[in-house]
Structure 1
Amino acid sequence: MVSKRAQDYPPIRRAMVQAHPETGQDVLFVNEQFTRAIADWPEATSQQRLATLFRQARQSKYHVRFRWQKHSVAIWDNRATQHYAVTDYGDTPRRLHRVTVQGDRAQ
């Protein structure tokens, strides 16, 4: 199953620094779940730099913690944020819908 998924979704190269399509500001396009290496960098250097970036992103001063309540709606811009779902809601049911806006393509 894993090898089939790897064939269906082979690794891709993307620019680490991209311009946000609406603001024009530079955004860092790395994610601890998906980013494995910095292309064209020595492996050790790449891993060290990514570890530094991931450690920075995990600092609580950069976090927003959304407190779910009945009828809550949360929307964020994945082009300039990182999402990490915390499963702290026990057995309480939640209904989630993911919406992706078509048109913006990673560079």
Structure 2
Amino acid sequence: TVKVIDPGSAGATVLGEVVATPDRSTLVAVQTPQAFRASVLRAAHASGVDATDDAALVEAAGGRVVVVQGDPTARKITTVDDLEWARSQVGGAP
């Protein structure tokens, strides 16, 4: 379950007090990598907006972002474990 918290009530072992439980029918986890037309993505990155991902940058720039069905094998390579997984998928050396 996803909860909305008030981080102002956080302590040493408490993340915050629950203030709401959002309606799940409007929530979706999005996958990285994300795909956009290169010109749209370049303009969004050039805008200087601070965002957590490319979709948020495009949104902030006024672009339209849609969600499509993802594929669990389309993984972002961020950690050494991700790289090892990718190598195993293409038969590369560890």
**TM-score using structure 1 length:** 0.20
Please identify the structure whose Cα radius of gyration is greater: 2
Between 1 and 2, higher relative CO (CA 8 Å, sep ≥ 6) is seen in 1
**TM-score using structure 2 length:** 0.21
